Amino acid sequence: MDVTWTPRERDFRALAREWLTEHVPREPLPSGDTRDGFAAHLEWERTLFEHRWSVVSWPHAYGGRDASLWEWLIFEEEYYRIGAPQRVTQNGIFLLAPTLFEFGTRRQRDELLPRMASATDLWCQGWSEPGAGSDLAGIRARAERDEQAGGWLLNGQKTWTTRGAFCTHLFGLFRTDPAQERHRGLTYFLVPLDTPGVTVRGFDRLDGDEGFADVFFDNVFVPDEDRRGVPSVLGEVGKGWQVAMATTGSERGLTLRSPGRFLRTADRLVELARERQHEVSDGLVERITEGWMRAQAYQAFTLAQVTDIVEGRPPGARSSMNKVFWSELDIDLHETALDLLGPDGQLDGPWSRGFQFSLAGPIYAGTNEIQRNIIAERVLGLPRK
């Protein structure tokens, strides 16, 4: 693995830094998990798109810059370094889009990706259901074939749908063959949320923001193709599990949580310690140092993973190792900050809110218990019992 940057990559970093310095909002935006905050974030994301910074690694035809994965990592580092706003379009851009590139038809890619990049279509993820949270193979929402009408009737409920109350479209798994069990007989659907029969009901998180939603499907008809000729099924009917695994690979692996996020959090922790140097015990110094080193280690691991991808070795089940590492690192960095802040850590602020969010890390994108099972069985080759 060569960890030096080429002259082109250094130029790319300089260009990204210059643009972000000039355009990032001077004042922090309100939470993207509130209706007003979401609208403010969309305005920012559309500014990114206008200047081709919203999807740097995508082809130019879809609004990107044809940047390499290395350049994408550089952009992410610069984005977090300057403290740019949270990306509220992340479920579409970072989760669905890689799956579209891998499994989508040319029509799906040409029609859906530019609207996703420009924050015109806003996608949420329909995975979890009541009774099927961490166990994705246990979903019960179903899709029944209507051959005469040329489409599918969807029924069921999705829950814990991140920013579902503010989105326009949903991607998710539905059971199309009830005779099959677990991973078989599932199909991956793309559904506009304004389709008759869809009800979206937002609900509050622990911090009071309307960050989640229940989505109900009551005889929702989804045609084989919409009026633009875009298929409503991604991949093959009955093969949705394989498609979904590509999405979860993005969620647990490289794209959702790039190292730039944790490098910046670790640097902020060091800055906090310097501000409060007279309150930092030897024990806290050790924890801060360890947290900073783990963030660097995550970056090195990610660089190795990108090397593998570029050389044709996809991460597969090893993406579960990423997920366990970054989710636990996020909690540890924030816990250390709160311990450093003492009573001030109980006040509402970036560290306390970041800590609350970090607690969800071991749960979303598949619980860490499930990820450890995957690592044991599929990476280490250990027996199931």
Rounded CA gap, 4 and 231, in Å? 43
Predicted confidence (pLDDT) at residue 4 exceeds the cutoff of 90 = no
Closest by CA position to 336, among listed 279, 291, 277: 291
- Report how many helices (DSSP H) and strands (DSSP E) the chain contains, helices first: 12, 7
C-alpha distances (whole Å) from 230 to each of 111, 171, 303, 351 are 7, 14, 36, 43
pLDDT over 70 for what percent of the chain? 99
Rounded CA gap, 173 and 175, in Å? 7
Q: Say what the pLDDT of residue 203 is.
A: 87
| 365 pLDDT tier (thresholds 50, 70, 90) | confident
**What integer is the mean pLDDT of 27-50?**
93
DSSP 317-354: GGHHHHHHHHHHHHHHHHHHHHHHHGGGGGSSSHHHHH
**What integer is the mean pLDDT of 9-31?**
96
206 class by beta-carbon count within 10 Å (0-12 exposed, 13-18 middle, 19+ buried)? exposed
Asked whether 263 and 145 are in contact (CB, 8 A), the reply is no
Q: Which position has the token pair 């922790």?
A: 269
Asked whether 368 and 375 are in contact (CB, 8 A), the reply is no
Residue of 18, 251, 311, 377 with catalytic role: 251
Query: Is 210 a known active-site residue?
Result: no
pLDDT tens readout for residues 187-201: 999 999 999 999 999
Q: Say what the pLDDT of residue 83 is.
A: 93
- Residue 4 per-residue DSSP state: P
Query: Bridge-partner residues for 118, per DSSP?
Result: none
CB within 8 Å of 10: residues ≥ 6 apart: none
| Residue 242, CA atoms < 13 Å, CB-side half-sphere | 10
pLDDT tens readout for residues 96-129: 999 999 999 999 999 999 999 999 999 999 988 9
* 230 vs 311, residue with greater confidence: 230
- Residue 132 per-residue DSSP state: B
Predicted confidence (pLDDT) at residue 50 exceeds the cutoff of 90 = yes
What amino acid is encoded at 240 in this protein? G
- Residue 316 per-residue DSSP state: G
Average pLDDT, the chain: 92
Predicted confidence (pLDDT) at residue 332 exceeds the cutoff of 90 = yes
Q: What are the structural domains of the chain?
A: 7-87 (no CATH), 123-239 (2.40.110.10), 257-380 (1.20.140.10)
Closest by CA position to 214, among listed 203, 223, 228: 203
Q: Say what the pLDDT of residue 181 is.
A: 78
Predicted confidence (pLDDT) at residue 306 exceeds the cutoff of 90 = no
pTM: 0.87
Q: Looking at mean pLDDT, say which of 174-183, 242-251, 307-316 comes out highest.
A: 174-183
pLDDT tens readout for residues 274-296: 999 888 999 999 999 999 999 99
| 134 pLDDT tier (thresholds 50, 70, 90) | low
| 207 pLDDT tier (thresholds 50, 70, 90) | confident
Predicted confidence (pLDDT) at residue 370 exceeds the cutoff of 90 = no
What amino acid is encoded at 191 in this protein? V
Backbone angles phi, psi at 215, to 5 degrees: -125, 120
Rounded CA gap, 272 and 55, in Å? 32
Q: How many residues does the chain have?
A: 385
What amino acid is encoded at 79 in this protein? Y
C-alpha distances (whole Å) from 32 to each of 40, 196, 210, 332 are 8, 27, 9, 24
What amino acid is encoded at 306 in this protein? V
**What integer is the mean pLDDT of 74-84?**
95
Predicted confidence (pLDDT) at residue 133 exceeds the cutoff of 70 = no
**What integer is the mean pLDDT of 50-69?**
96
Rounded CA gap, 253 and 257, in Å? 7
C-alpha distances (whole Å) from 362 to each of 127, 240, 320, 371 are 16, 24, 11, 9
